[in-house]
Amino acid sequence: MMIVFNPDGYLLGRKSQLVTLFIMFFSVFYLSSCREVNIAEGIFDYTDKYCHVNDECIVNMKSITPFEWDYMYVIDNGFERKAVESFINLKIDGDLDIFSKIIFVKDNKLVYLEHYIDISGSEKTLVLNFDVRKKEKKYIKYYVISKDNANVLMKKEKVPDNRAYYWFSYANENQVARVD
């Protein structure tokens, strides 16, 4: 039996292998860049890496977000759609349930919306500070954090049952809108 080498068939097979590898590489690259964003997880990771337990530290929200934004809004739960849309001066077509919200806007367009609820028993819990317990200050309706004033205060508090609370607070009074 004699084996005949056909250079045309070899090159054709080689090209299809290279094209397949090229498609696979860019598919993996594309899919990894499209992973779902989770702001709360980003805050947990950043705080764990750069902040000490039970100490307040400054976190720049631009370090947390993998997208461009002009304003970040943190809105407490219980507000109806009209109220939320008036806070951010933007109409939202998506779901605006009763949970707390973290909303990012760029060029008067919604960039990202994350609903948040405190689930007791979670290993890590993001606690949004709306000054509910501070009697000397009025309750905060929402935060308005600009990209130019993007620092917030974070404090990680460990509790005995191996859970952690991450307290999210404003860095200055200009970042909050209080009840009249």
User: What pLDDT score was predicted for residue 114?
Assistant: 92
Q: What angle do CA 94, 76, 78 make, to 5 degrees?
A: 70
pLDDT averaged over every residue in the chain? 83
Domain-by-domain residue ranges, the chain? 39-178
Mean pLDDT of 25-40: 55
User: What pLDDT score was predicted for residue 40?
Assistant: 93
Name the CA radius of gyration of the chain, rounded.
24
Lowest mean pLDDT among 7-21, 122-136, 163-177: 7-21
Q: pTM for the full model?
A: 0.76
Give the separation between CA 84 and CA 50, rounded to whole angstroms. 32
What's the token pair of residue 133? 């317990």
